[in-house]
Amino acid sequence: MLLRFSVSNWMSFRDEAILDMTATREKQHSEHVATVPKYEVRVLPVAAIYGGNASGKSNLVKALQFAKNFVLSPPKPGAPIGAKPFLLNEISKNRKTGFRFEIMIAGSIFEYSFSIDAKEVNAEELVRVSPGSEERIFRRSSDPAEFTLYDKAKDKDALEFAFRGTQENQLFLTNSVSQRLAEFRPIFNWFRDDLTVIDPSTYFAGLLAYAREEHPRFLQMSQKLHELDCGVEFLKETEVLPTSVLPKELVDSLSVDLTEHEPLLLASIGGEEGVFLELKDGKPVARRLIPFHRDEGGRMVPFQYLDESDGTRRLLDILPAFLMLGDERYSSTFVIDELDRSLHPNLTRNLVEMFLACRRESSRTQLVFTTHDAQLMTQEIFRRDELWAAERDQSGASKLIAFSEFKDVRKDRDIRKSYLQGRMGGVPHIRGTNSQCSEEVEAR
């Protein structure tokens, strides 16, 4: 589970922004909250982030995606890291960019942080948090001589050797796992398996798996598609030869960047539409995703995936994530940028309420999403500490504000009305009025 995430000097976030998923003393919707008795902490299952265009919502999501990618897939030796500092003042351009995660893995809390510039990792630290105390597991700075490793580490000599082989533009956490050292693998695995980021232009990589009849949630997926009235009754996938849709040279070129967990969607190539290229046992395979609709006579008719509407494809992108979020066996955190993109407000609300309806104290899955859908902004659905606003100030810097910080946001108040009136930030400050246009027309 994600307890807190903070980022500083990243894109529009000049100063540190903190997304806090721990619950306040708010009593409303207490059934939403997961409890961790060992730490006497209560963790929120959801965070809905609002804000005007260019307020920083998507930049927060990009920070999470960048951090995940940097842990899992470091740049090649000597290559730039890809840090994106705040560019609207000269000081920030030369400051470090920092990321900090406080996460719970198998009942234990860890704090993992690192800071970077364009070329190197400046600092990296892993701390185990115990009730009432903290234990630093390792700490690294840009000076190799300042590396410290706690005494209880297994294979301490091997870990110190792995650190000496860690490139300047690479995380020690990543390199130690790549050297098959198990000490920090649970942290690495959290980024790989439990943190999933879906932006408006991508899809949930598990979509293909959900289209296979042997998948345990194939029937659940089909039932939910029918309930949501999107026209699609069920999905199927078929395997095709990669070289039947792409030249072998292009297949080989694309396969270099493929992973077992991230298929690549190829649009309208070689007469095939909606073909996904993925790795299977280290080799590239191509799969077609086929939506089936019911005709007037009740027969199932296959459609081209890319012939589906934007809204239907967006639903297909995110629905597997919501089904996974409702599974008590998982502790995944899904981050979805523009959850409501191309979706009807009633459909978006149904998905969110479906997720929250099955929350219990023992639940460990979480949903973080950005949205413009003001119809969702109601205390009938959310607690005040589950609602956030991203706001950009006059200097162009973004900040993140929890609705629970506003003293006048009572549980009986129309929170949506207050937000749209601009009392809580996160709305665009539109300059000028439509009357100017009217005056020009009258003058003509």
Q: What is the pLDDT of residue 245?
A: 73
Length of the chain counted residue by residue: 444
* Exposure string for 361-391, b = 16+ CB within 10 A, e = fewer: eebbbbbbbbbebbebbebebbbbbbbbbbb
Q: What is the pLDDT of residue 327?
A: 86
CATH, range 1-200+337-434: 3.40.50.300
Token digits for 27?
């009593």
DSSP state of 363: -
Q: Position 78: which residue type?
A: G
Query: Where along the chain do the CATH 3.40.50.300 domains lie?
Result: 1-200+337-434
Query: For residue 242, which phi and psi values (nearest 5 degrees)?
Result: -55, -40
CB neighbourhood size of 198 (10 A) = 22
CB neighbourhood size of 413 (10 A) = 13
CB neighbourhood size of 15 (10 A) = 13
Query: For residue 311, which phi and psi values (nearest 5 degrees)?
Result: -65, -40
Element (H, E) at 227: helix 218-227
Contacts (Cβ under 8 Å, ≥6 apart) of 140? 121, 123, 124, 125, 146, 147, 163, 172
CB neighbourhood size of 174 (10 A) = 21
Q: What is the pLDDT of residue 371?
A: 96
Of residues 1, 16, 7, 49, the one with CA closest to residue 424: 49
**Tens digits of pLDDT across the chain (444 residues):** 999 999 999 999 999 999 999 999 988 999 989 999 999 999 999 999 999 899 999 999 999 999 999 999 999 999 999 999 999 999 999 899 999 999 999 999 999 999 999 999 999 999 999 998 999 999 999 888 889 998 888 888 999 999 999 999 999 999 999 999 999 999 999 999 999 999 887 766 678 888 999 999 999 999 999 999 999 999 998 888 887 777 888 878 877 777 666 677 765 455 555 688 877 777 888 888 899 999 999 999 999 888 899 999 999 989 999 999 988 888 999 999 999 999 999 999 999 999 999 999 999 999 999 999 999 999 999 999 999 999 999 999 999 999 988 766 666 567 777 676 666 655 555 555 555 554 554 555
Q: What is the pLDDT of residue 428?
A: 59
Identify any residues that bridge with 42 across adjacent strands, giving them in sequence order: 35
Q: How many helices (H) and strands (E) does the chain have?
A: 12, 20
Q: Is 74 left (phi over 0), alpha (psi -120 to 50) or beta?
A: beta
* Exposure string for 124-140, b = 16+ CB within 10 A, e = fewer: bbbbebeeeeeeebbbb
Token digits for 158?
């091997």
Q: What is the pLDDT of residue 406?
A: 78
- In contact, 362 and 34? CB cutoff 8 Å: yes
Q: Position 431: which residue type?
A: R
Report the alpha-carbon distance of residue 324 to residue 206 in Å, rounded. Answer: 10
* 381 three-state secondary structure: coil
Q: What is the pLDDT of residue 200?
A: 85
- In contact, 260 and 207? CB cutoff 8 Å: no
Q: What is the pLDDT of residue 287?
A: 84
Strand ranges (E), 344-397: 366-370, 387-392
DSSP state of 262: B
Report the alpha-carbon distance of residue 117 to residue 94 in Å, rounded. Answer: 8
Q: Using CA of residue 248, residue 249, residue 254, residue 260, what is the dihedral sign? A: positive
The strand pair at 46-51 and 366-370 is best described as parallel
How remote is the C-alpha of 322 from its chain's centroid? Answer: 13
* Exposure string for 235-253, b = 16+ CB within 10 A, e = fewer: bebeeeebeebbeeeebee
Going across the sheet that includes 333-336, the strands are 195-198, 333-336, 366-370, 46-51, 387-392, 398-402
Of residues 198, 430, 227, the one with CA closest to residue 321: 198
Token digits for 443?
């003058």
- In contact, 270 and 245? CB cutoff 8 Å: yes
Report the alpha-carbon distance of residue 87 to residue 10 in Å, rounded. Answer: 9
